[in-house]
Each structure stands twice: as structure tokens, then as C-alpha cells.
Structure 1
Amino acid sequence: MPAPTTLELLWGTPDRPRRGPKPSLTLERIVADAIEIADSEGLANLSMARLAERVGCAKMALYRYVPGRTELTALMIDTALGGPPEITAAQANSPQPWRAYLRPWAETFYERVIVHPWSGELTAGIRPMGPNELAWLDTALSVLADTGLNFDEQFDSVALLLGHARQVAQQVAATASDDPAEEQLARELGTVLSAQAERFPYAIAALAAAVGAKPDPEAGNALTFGIDRILDGLGALIETRREG
């Protein structure tokens, strides 16, 4: 019997009947342990052999549940992201329901990627999506349905917000490192920048302010600044569509 496909695993195709005693492992436990390894050790250190050691079984036994790493990471993404935030009554009844919802929607996606940094690189591109990830897309599109934007514009708007949140999360993960080599590089870069201040005054001033800075979640940081500017642009486009 052929192994289940990624889509079958993601969308909960009924388990095939098996003879013998009930297995000690479950797909849910395997995925949960894989997420813990990726969170604590990085995605590069996640292998089927490492996972088998973690769950306490032979490597080949894992393949009875998940055919390989590709299928495993697809399950990990859908589990780690979870479902999107619900649309509240206050958001639905606001003057701009789409904006009232999409801002916390993008912020929540960012927070999920921050908790699971490895997910950022896996959520880009065309690939099989599970029910949780598709719910993120569907809920965001639902609040844009009555804005006058066409389907392409609605989809691109959602992709733009996701891309911004993903990129900022990856930048935060990079700057949060305590690697001494990175600290040394920052010091050396500061020396170079100060020596080139007259040649590139605007770029140097901006970079000097950013080098070594730690993101402040309470400040007007790159995440909220970018989200608000994207939503400002959408608001202008929506108003143009309605006037037309």
C-alpha cells in the first residue's frame, strides 16, 4: 500500500486499518516532538534519525507514520501556526472592518513565527497547505471581500502583509543572537561606517542607528510601521475603487 501523501496527512485522511496491537506512537506526538527539536536546536538539526531518538523508536518505525522530511515539515508548519485570530464583533462593526482585523492578524502571524523561527523559511512559496494555514488565508480574504478590490488585489494584499511579518520576524531572530562572532562583526562594522560617514552620509546615519539596536515591541518598530503603511495604501486603493 503506497505511503500517504502530504495532502492526505495534512487534511486528516482516515487512518488505514492496521492489524495487531495499537501503536504506541501517534502522528500528533511525532509532529509535536519535531517542533520542539526545531524550536530548541534549529531546523538544520532536525532529521528523521534525531526525531526517532527523541520519540524512542527505530528510525524506520517513523516512516509508518510520515513518509519523510518533506511531509513532516508540512505538518509542523500547520501545527505551529495554529488557527488565525477570530474576527471580533468590534472589528466587524468598525468603520473599516478589514483594517481593524488585518492589523492584529498580521501581528499574530508575526508572533507565531517569532515563537517558531524555522517556520518563516518554510511558509514561503507554493506548496501543499493544511487547514490551519488555509484558514489564515481565508479569514483575511473574507474581510477584503466587500472592499471593491478584485481577487488578485485581495490575494496580493494578504501576501504582502504575510511577507512583511515574515521578513521582520527573521530579522529579529538574526539580531537577537548572542553569538560573539556577530558582536565582533557589529563592532568592526561600526568602525568602517564611522570612517565612511562623509561618503555615504544618509545610509551611514540610518545604519549606525540600527546596528546593535534591539527591537522594542512597545515602540513604533518595523513591524507595526510596515503594517500600517501597507494598510494605508490599501485604504487609498479601496477608496479609489469605491469612488469609481
Structure 2
Amino acid sequence: MADEQWSAAVRLLWGPPAAPARGPKRGLTLQGIAEAGVRIADAEGLAGVSMQGVAGELAVTKMALYRYVPGKAELVSLMVEAAMPEPPLLDAAGEGGEGWRRRLGRWARELHAGFRAHPWLLEATVGARVMGPRETGWMERALAALDGCGLSGAEAMDAVVLLSGHVRGIAEQERAMGAGASGGPDAQLVTALDLVMREHGERYPALMAALASAAAHGGQDQALEFGLERILDGLGLLMAGR
């Protein structure tokens, strides 16, 4: 059933450029259709995307759109492929033993930038689905960065999942806080907690001490970097133990 369900997405993402299923309809391309969907998602979120809306954006009928894309699921797959940035080139040539760390750090930061540019990607890239060449390339580049580091294939895959999960978690927090809000997610959390701590701080002494230290010495809004460095530290220890 899954093969039948995803076969259309596979053809659209990995096959040759599609011609209309029936009848000549010049001027439409899969890339143009995907870009129209991306524009709507950037403005209204993924929930605002519909076949009718994309057809309107392209000034065609919905039936004309269906000649190229069979439904919204396949449309979203095309949108993801169009919106995901190109995976970074992580050249290992001439790098020392810690080259893997620098490469994975760059990979994670650029993935985070991609999610910030199109926050709806966080919603569109979950669950069982077909990934396109560009999105698959992100996994390939991360795994290649770990090549020769002594990890098994399963461990390397788990490391990539761990890194991407950290990046997604931070990006989700930023999305929930709102792009237009002042300060990063850490700063906004501190502001919200401060209102409570003024009246109830004596009940949470460890939290009060941490907030006071953060206010005195800075270090807020470093969750992405802090978590990333700790994950890389852990991988380094695992590799050293081999």
C-alpha cells in the first residue's frame, strides 16, 4: 500500500520533468508549481496551501494543476524540495582528525538557517514520506562527514538523527515564539519567568540562581550552539573510545 501511495511522489521528485496528464497546457512546470506553493506557505503557513490556492497563484484552473500534480501531498513534497537549501559542500580534503566536527557543525547551522527561512518546513518534513534529491542530499552529506570516524552505519545514522532533532527543536521554539518577537527564545522565556519569579522565586531557588547568573554573565540564546557542541563532544568521546 505504501508503495502505491508514494509512487506518484517518487515519479514527481525523481523522474524526468512531467508533462500534463492529459491535454496540452503550456506554461506550467513542476518547479513553477512548487514555487507558487512555497510563496503561499511562506505567507500563510502550510495550512494555507491548497490546490485551489496554488492554481489561483498561477492564474490557471484547479483542473489544469491536477494535470501535473495529483494532490496536495505530492504538492507539499515538491514544495519541500524547492524550499530546502542546497546541502553544504563539506570537503574533507586536507582536514585533520577533528574535521568531522567542523563539517557537522556547519551542516547543523545551515540546516537551522533553512528552517528559519521557511518555518513551515518543520511541519512538512515529519512522518513517513518520500524525500527528494535535495533533502536526501542533506543526509548524504552528514553521513559522509562521519566517514572514517570509526562509527558503524547505524551509529552514524543515529548521530545524524540526533543532530537534526536538536536543530529542529530549537527551530520549533523559535517558530512558536514568533519571528517578530523581540529577543531570542531564551530571552523571551526569561522575561516570562521573571514575572513569576518576582512573586514565587523562593519556591524555586535553583531556577532563581540560574536566572541571576544568566542575567549577570550573559550566555542567553545560545541553546543551538550549546547543544550542538555537547552532541559533538559526545560523538568525539565515542570515537576516541574506539
- The TM-score normalised by the length of structure 2 is 0.82
**C-alpha distance in 2 between matches for 1:189 and 1:86:** 41
CA change 1:203–1:125 in 2 (3 A) is farther
Aligned residues with identical type, % of pairs: 44
Write out aligned runs for 1:1-244 (5 A). 5-13=8-16, 15=18, 21=24, 23-88=26-91, 93-178=95-180, 190-203=194-207, 206=210, 221-241=222-242
Task: Give the C-alpha shift of residue 4 in structure 1.
Answer: 6.4
Question: Structure 1 unaligned runs (5+)?
Answer: 180-184, 211-215
**C-alpha distance in 1 between matches for 2:199 and 2:38:** 45
**C-alpha distance in 1 between matches for 2:90 and 2:105:** 12
**C-alpha distance in 2 between matches for 1:237 and 1:226:** 17
Aligned residues: 229
CA change 1:196–1:171 in 2 (3 A) is same
Task: Give the C-alpha shift of residue 34 in structure 1.
Answer: 0.5
For the 8 Å contact 2:51–2:62, the answer to whether it is kept is yes
For the 8 Å contact 2:38–2:79, the answer to whether it is kept is yes
For the 8 Å contact 1:190–1:208, the answer to whether it is kept is no
Deviates more, 1:21-30 or 1:143-152: 21-30
For the 8 Å contact 2:18–2:68, the answer to whether it is kept is no
CA change 1:232–1:187 in 2 (3 A) is closer
For the 8 Å contact 2:13–2:133, the answer to whether it is kept is yes
Q: Which amino acid aligns with 1:48?
A: M
**C-alpha distance in 2 between matches for 1:67 and 1:204:** 55
Deviations 1:10-57 (A, max 9, x none): 112453587764522111111001101111121111111111111111
SS at 1:82 equivalent = coil
**C-alpha distance in 1 between matches for 2:83 and 2:20:** 28
CA change 1:132–1:49 in 2 (3 A) is same
- The TM-score normalised by the length of structure 1 is 0.82
For the 8 Å contact 1:193–1:208, the answer to whether it is kept is no
Q: Which amino acid aligns with 1:62?
A: L
Question: Structure 2 unaligned runs (5+)?
Answer: 1-5, 182-188
For the 8 Å contact 1:168–1:223, the answer to whether it is kept is yes
**C-alpha distance in 1 between matches for 2:61 and 2:165:** 38
CA change 1:188–1:170 in 2 (3 A) is closer
